[in-house]
Amino acid sequence: MKIIAYSTFLCILLTSCQDSEHQTRRQNLKGEYIYRKKNEIFFTPSPPLSKPPLHYPWQRSLITKNFFRCRGNDLNPIVVKKRDGREPIYFRDCPGGERHGLPLHDGEEFVYPCLIDLLNYIQEKSGHKVYITTGHRCPEHNSYCDHSPSNWGSKHMLGAEVDFYVVGMERDPENVISLVQQFYTETPPYQGDKAFEEFSRFHRQGLNVSTPPWHNKEIFIKLYRKDEGRDFDNQHPYPYIGIQVRYDRDQKKQVVFEQGQTQNFLRN
Ligand SMILES: [Zn+2]
């Protein structure tokens, strides 16, 4: 009991001592204004150094063929296309790329490697993420996205076409296209291919883009402005780039659409 009373007394004594010390200090404080001349500088800061931006792990991740899986979803509503005097056509979406595979080549899932290499090059050079809006489309999802006759032979069904934009460069697709062209000047084994040309006026007739497309031996590039090419997979407000493969450098032959190939994938 004595010990408790003694320690309580000590606490009160210490607290009152601290209070009086604070009071004394506050009373003795003196204020003084700091006067500086306009533009007076005491030291010159060193110029800022540019540092490469830090990337989050997902920004560093390499694009693989898995990024090209079909974006269908059977929860999407059925689309009805009305026709004058005839029965309407009903379009149902596919169950999605988790429920069926990519196109098969020699028994393995396949996307043309030049598309994968090219998109990784753009990510590396720009430091921005490539967002693929459409990679592979199974025939069901292809019809669902865009049921116009011009889309019936889409190379999306062969793993030979990709639509994308670059996050952070959405309003600057021309610079992304410059990177695509640069890829063919400095990256083996693509380096040394013949330079890109604008698609001839004759072949441009009937195309769904206002900007003349470009092509070299291997690929064909289309730039869709923000009011062009708005199919179901491209319902975003940005311009986007579509790249088709024209030539298979391994098989040494043109890549052409064949109806039979479009069904060549595994279903779960
Ligand atoms: Zn599908």
Tokens of 48: 């800022």
Q: How many A from CA of 181 to the centre of ligand 1?
A: 31
Q: Which of 178, 174, 211 is nearest to 196 (CA)?
A: 178
Residue 187 inside a domain? The answer is yes
Q: How many A from CA of 36 to the centre of ligand 1?
A: 71
Q: How many A from CA of 178 to the centre of ligand 1?
A: 31
Which residues have CB atoms below 5 A from the ion given as ligand 1? 70, 72, 94, 138, 141
Contact by Cβ (8 Å): 67, 117? no
Give the tens place of pLDDT for each residue, 219-237: 999 999 999 999 999 999 9
What percent of the chain has a predicted confidence (pLDDT) above 90?
60
Cα 13 to Cα 228: distance, rounded to the nearest angstrom: 82
93-98's contacts with Cβ under 8 Å and 24+ in sequence apart are 93/140, 93/141, 93/144, 94/70, 94/138, 94/140, 94/141, 94/144, 96/69, 96/70, 96/71, 96/72, 97/69, 97/70, 97/71, 97/72, 97/136, 98/69, 98/268
Residue 170 inside a domain? The answer is yes
pLDDT confidence of residue 262: 80
Residue 38 inside a domain? The answer is no
Give the tens place of pLDDT for each residue, 92-128: 999 999 899 999 999 999 999 999 999 999 999 999 9
Residue 45 inside a domain? The answer is no
Residue 148: which pLDDT band, with cuts at 50, 70 and 90? confident
Residue 26 inside a domain? The answer is no
Sequence-ordered list of residues with C-beta below 8 angstroms from that of 32, at least 6 positions apart, any chain: none
pLDDT confidence of residue 224: 97
Residue 79: which domain range? 71-267
Number of domains in the chain: 1
Residue 112 inside a domain? The answer is yes
Residue 190 inside a domain? The answer is yes
Residue 163 inside a domain? The answer is yes
pLDDT confidence of residue 204: 66
CB atoms within 10 A of CB 184: 21
Give the tens place of pLDDT for each residue, 187-201: 999 987 778 998 876
Query: What average pLDDT does the segment 56-78 reach?
Result: 86
Q: How many A from CA of 115 to the centre of ligand 1?
A: 19
pTM confidence score: 0.76
